[in-house]
Amino acid sequence: MTAPLEENKRRSSRVFIKLPVFVTGKNTDGRAFRETSETIVVNAHGALFYLQAPVAMESVVLVTNPATLEEQESRVVFIGSPSDHGQRIGVEFLTPAPRFWGVEFPPPDWPQKAISASSAPPPS
> Do residues 91 and 61 touch, judged by C-beta distance below 8 A?
yes
pLDDT tier at 15, thresholds 50, 70, 90: confident
Instruction: For residue 21, give the nearest of 77, 57, 61 by alpha carbon.
Output: 61
- The CA angle 63-64-67, to the nearest 5 degrees, is 150
Q: Where are the beta strands (DSSP E) in the chain?
A: 15-16, 20-26, 32-43, 46-51, 60-65, 70-83, 86-93
What's phi and psi for 35, nearest 5 deg?
-125, 150
Name 51's bridge partners. Answer: 87
Confidence band for 42, pLDDT divided at 50, 70 and 90: very high
* Residue 79 contacts residue 89 (beta carbons within 8 Å): yes
Q: What average pLDDT does the chain have?
A: 83
β-pairing, 70-83 vs 86-93, is: antiparallel
pTM across the whole model: 0.75
Closest CA to 71 of 30, 120, 21, 33: 21
Give the tens place of pLDDT for each residue, 62-109.
999 999 999 999 999 999 988 898 999 999 999 988 889 987 545 666
* pLDDT tens per residue across span 86-99: 999 999 999 988 88
CB proximity list for 119: less than 8 A, separation 6 or greater: 99
CATH number for domain 15-101+110-118, candidates 2.40.10.220, 1.10.3720.10, 1.20.1250.20, 3.40.1500.10: 2.40.10.220
